[in-house]
Structure 1
Amino acid sequence: MSKLLSVKELHMKIAEAEGAKASAALKAQQAEEAEKKALLDHLLAPSGLTDEQASEKVSLIISRAMENGLTAVQVLRFPNHICTDGGRAINQVEEGWEKTLTGLPKEMYGFWKRELRPLGYHIRYHIIDYPGGMPGDVAITLSWG
């Protein structure tokens, strides 16, 4: 036969359960923050790819898209704060917007300009969401149609 707990014991068990929930939520939040930091570090660091290696990757992406009947593909999504102006120039489609790029998005623009533009490919950097009415993430779309 189980023993009835006192109200004080019930309150202690409830407090323990809430403490465990809070601890789990904190661990999840810390893991999410670490993931975001790792992603930002990755986006801000040079890829280390040669133009030949990048060409191979792009060729594979384009081939898969074409097999699915597409004439454009989103190749990267990144937070707007990677841009020196928070994505403002991209959002306003200002001349010279590409000068606000940093890290991998800048490297990708340079690769497109050197290797893909002469072959007729188009690239578009555009804001794809507006959290709270403000510019959010930026997408890079490569097209050939």
Structure 2
Amino acid sequence: MPVNIDDLLPSAKEIQRQAAIKDSDKAEQYAKRAAAVEAEKRALIDKLSQPSGLTEEQKVQLASSVIQRAVRNGLSEVQVYRFPNSLCTDHGRAINQQEAGWEKTLTGIPREIFQLWSDYLQPRGYRIRYQIIDFPGGMPGDISIVIAWG
């Protein structure tokens, strides 16, 4: 049985077509994964922008637990939360500029933490610090909340 060269060696045009199909499939899979990641991120931000649902007593107990653990580890401050700047109405600009009234830009859980500090921790001598902790592309990114007592 003679071997047909066309069966063994496809044309360069056919190889290019096959490669283009593979590249297209890869791009489609990447786009699907990126869309899924973005949807997850949006859902998490939506959740974090809402109240936690904890009672005041549960919040105080949680704060006490975190602080006591940090003290046992010899710390005088502890990062209690990290959140995306999109949970601030100005995307963290007032925090970054240390403007008076920056706390009014907080929403959701970051706002709850500030209120908990204001109501229960500040009168007992605790300090709070909100600060931008990364700058992706030179722009403000995530914000950390630190409670200090030392």
Same fold, TM exceeding 0.5?
A: yes
Aligned-residue offset at 1:20: 1.7
Between 1:112-121 and 1:60-69, the stretch displaced more is 60-69
Normalising to structure 1: TM-score of the pair? 0.86
Q: Does residue 44 in structure 1 map to residue 73 in structure 2?
A: no
Runs of 4+ in 1 over 6 A off after TM superposition: none
Other-structure match for 1:69: 74
State how 1:1-145 maps to structure 2 within 5 Å: 3-145=8-150
Q: Determine which structure has more spread, i.e. the larger CA radius of gyration.
A: 2
Which secondary structure does the structure 2 equivalent of 1:125 belong to?
A: strand
Secondary structure of the residue aligned to 2:10 is: coil
Which moves more between the two structures, 85-94 or 62-71? Answer: 62-71
Deviations 1:2-36 (CA, angstroms, capped at 9, x unpaired): 93333233123211210121012101211111121
In structure 2, list runs of 5 or more residues that go unmatched. Answer: none
Separation in 2, partners of 1:48, 1:3: 67
TM-score relative to the length of structure 2: 0.84
CA distance in 1, matches of 2:47, 2:123: 28
Secondary structure, aligned partner of 2:8: coil
Which string of whole-angstrom CA distances, capped at 9 and with x for unpartnered residues, describes residues 100-138 of structure 1?
Answer: 211111111101111222222211111112233332222
Total equivalences in the alignment: 145
RMSD over aligned Cα, in angstroms?
2.1
Q: Which amino acid aligns with 1:41?
A: D
